[in-house]
Amino acid sequence: MTGSEQDLFEILSNVGAAKSEYMKAIQSVKKQNFTEVESLFKTGDGYLLAAHKVHTKMIQEEAGGSEPKISLLLVHVEDQLMGCESIKIMAKEFIHVYAQLQDLKKEQTLILNKIT
Protein backbone atom coordinates (compact mmCIF):
# COMPACT_ATOMS: atom_id res chain seq x y z
CA MET A 1 0.00 0.00 0.00
CA THR A 2 1.42 3.42 -0.98
CA GLY A 3 1.59 6.39 1.41
CA SER A 4 -1.34 8.15 -0.22
CA GLU A 5 -3.43 4.95 -0.11
CA GLN A 6 -2.60 4.64 3.58
CA ASP A 7 -3.86 8.22 4.08
CA LEU A 8 -7.07 7.41 2.22
CA PHE A 9 -7.79 4.35 4.34
CA GLU A 10 -7.04 6.29 7.50
CA ILE A 11 -9.69 8.85 6.48
CA LEU A 12 -12.08 6.09 5.48
CA SER A 13 -11.86 4.19 8.76
CA ASN A 14 -12.17 7.36 10.88
CA VAL A 15 -15.02 8.81 8.88
CA GLY A 16 -16.81 5.45 8.94
CA ALA A 17 -16.45 5.19 12.71
CA ALA A 18 -17.65 8.80 13.11
CA LYS A 19 -20.74 8.18 10.99
CA SER A 20 -21.49 5.09 13.05
CA GLU A 21 -21.37 7.12 16.31
CA TYR A 22 -23.77 9.77 14.93
CA MET A 23 -26.16 7.05 13.77
CA LYS A 24 -25.97 5.39 17.22
CA ALA A 25 -26.93 8.78 18.72
CA ILE A 26 -30.08 8.88 16.57
CA GLN A 27 -30.89 5.25 17.43
CA SER A 28 -30.47 5.93 21.12
CA VAL A 29 -32.79 8.98 21.23
CA LYS A 30 -35.29 7.01 19.19
CA LYS A 31 -35.45 4.70 22.23
CA GLN A 32 -35.87 7.79 24.44
CA ASN A 33 -32.37 7.44 25.82
CA PHE A 34 -30.83 10.92 25.88
CA THR A 35 -28.01 10.22 28.31
CA GLU A 36 -25.54 8.75 25.83
CA VAL A 37 -25.94 11.40 23.13
CA GLU A 38 -23.20 13.69 24.40
CA SER A 39 -20.54 10.99 24.64
CA LEU A 40 -21.52 9.48 21.27
CA PHE A 41 -21.15 12.89 19.65
CA LYS A 42 -17.87 13.51 21.41
CA THR A 43 -16.41 10.21 20.18
CA GLY A 44 -17.79 10.83 16.68
CA ASP A 45 -16.30 14.33 16.57
CA GLY A 46 -12.92 12.92 17.62
CA TYR A 47 -12.95 10.48 14.69
CA LEU A 48 -14.16 13.14 12.26
CA LEU A 49 -11.41 15.51 13.37
CA ALA A 50 -8.78 12.78 12.85
CA ALA A 51 -10.16 12.23 9.32
CA HIS A 52 -10.09 15.96 8.58
CA LYS A 53 -6.49 16.27 9.73
CA VAL A 54 -5.36 13.73 7.13
CA HIS A 55 -7.62 15.33 4.52
CA THR A 56 -6.17 18.80 5.22
CA LYS A 57 -2.66 17.37 4.97
CA MET A 58 -3.50 15.97 1.51
CA ILE A 59 -4.96 19.30 0.36
CA GLN A 60 -1.87 21.13 1.59
CA GLU A 61 0.37 18.68 -0.25
CA GLU A 62 -1.56 19.42 -3.43
CA ALA A 63 -1.31 23.17 -2.82
CA GLY A 64 2.42 22.67 -2.35
CA GLY A 65 2.69 21.40 -5.90
CA SER A 66 2.52 17.63 -5.41
CA GLU A 67 -0.03 16.32 -7.91
CA PRO A 68 -2.48 13.88 -6.21
CA LYS A 69 -3.28 10.54 -7.78
CA ILE A 70 -6.96 10.64 -8.71
CA SER A 71 -8.46 7.22 -8.07
CA LEU A 72 -11.91 5.77 -7.51
CA LEU A 73 -10.84 5.21 -3.92
CA LEU A 74 -10.13 8.95 -3.49
CA VAL A 75 -13.56 9.79 -4.90
CA HIS A 76 -15.11 7.24 -2.53
CA VAL A 77 -13.31 8.85 0.42
CA GLU A 78 -14.55 12.33 -0.52
CA ASP A 79 -18.07 10.94 -0.84
CA GLN A 80 -17.90 9.26 2.58
CA LEU A 81 -16.56 12.48 4.17
CA MET A 82 -19.43 14.49 2.71
CA GLY A 83 -21.95 11.86 3.76
CA CYS A 84 -20.62 11.90 7.30
CA GLU A 85 -20.84 15.70 7.55
CA SER A 86 -24.47 15.60 6.41
CA ILE A 87 -25.33 12.79 8.83
CA LYS A 88 -23.81 14.77 11.70
CA ILE A 89 -25.96 17.83 10.90
CA MET A 90 -29.09 15.74 10.43
CA ALA A 91 -28.41 13.72 13.62
CA LYS A 92 -28.44 16.98 15.62
CA GLU A 93 -31.80 17.89 14.06
CA PHE A 94 -33.22 14.43 14.80
CA ILE A 95 -32.18 14.70 18.42
CA HIS A 96 -34.07 17.99 18.74
CA VAL A 97 -37.15 16.47 17.11
CA TYR A 98 -37.12 13.40 19.39
CA ALA A 99 -36.59 15.62 22.45
CA GLN A 100 -39.61 17.74 21.49
CA LEU A 101 -41.63 14.62 20.81
CA GLN A 102 -40.83 13.33 24.28
CA ASP A 103 -41.89 16.68 25.83
CA LEU A 104 -45.13 16.62 23.87
CA LYS A 105 -45.88 13.08 25.05
CA LYS A 106 -45.35 14.15 28.66
CA GLU A 107 -47.65 17.16 28.19
CA GLN A 108 -50.27 14.95 26.57
CA THR A 109 -50.17 12.51 29.49
CA LEU A 110 -50.53 15.40 31.95
CA ILE A 111 -53.56 16.78 30.12
CA LEU A 112 -55.15 13.35 29.76
CA ASN A 113 -54.64 12.68 33.48
CA LYS A 114 -56.47 15.91 34.31
CA ILE A 115 -59.55 15.15 32.25
CA THR A 116 -59.98 11.49 33.15
Partner 1 sequence: MIRILLACNAGMSTSLLVKKMQEAATQQHIEAEIWAVPEAELFDEWTRADFVLLGPQIGYMKDEIEEIIQGKIPVQVIDMKDYGRMDGTKVLLTVVEQLGSAS
* Catalytically annotated residues: 76
Q: What is the C-alpha end-to-end distance of the chain, expressed in Å?
A: 69
CB of 103 to partner 1, least distance (A): 26
Nearest to 95 by CA among 20, 48, 28, 39: 28
C-beta closer to partner 1: residue 3 or 65: 3
Residues 22/84, Cβ–Cβ less than 8 Å: yes
Closest to 77 (Cα-Cα) out of 18, 3, 21, 11? 11
What is the rounded distance in angstroms from the CA atom of residue 100 to the CA atom of residue 46? 27
CB nearer partner 1, residue 2 or residue 35: 2
Binding test (CB under 8 A) with partner 1, winner from 4, 12, 45, 92: 12
Among 1, 63, 110, 112, binds partner 1 (CB under 8 A): 1
Distance from C-alpha of 73 to C-alpha of 12, rounded to nearest angstrom = 10
Candidate residues 4, 20, 43, 61; the one interacting with partner 1 per rule CB under 8 A: 20
Q: Which residues bind partner 1 (CB under 8 A)?
A: 1, 6, 9-10, 12-17, 19-21, 23-24, 27, 47, 73, 76, 80
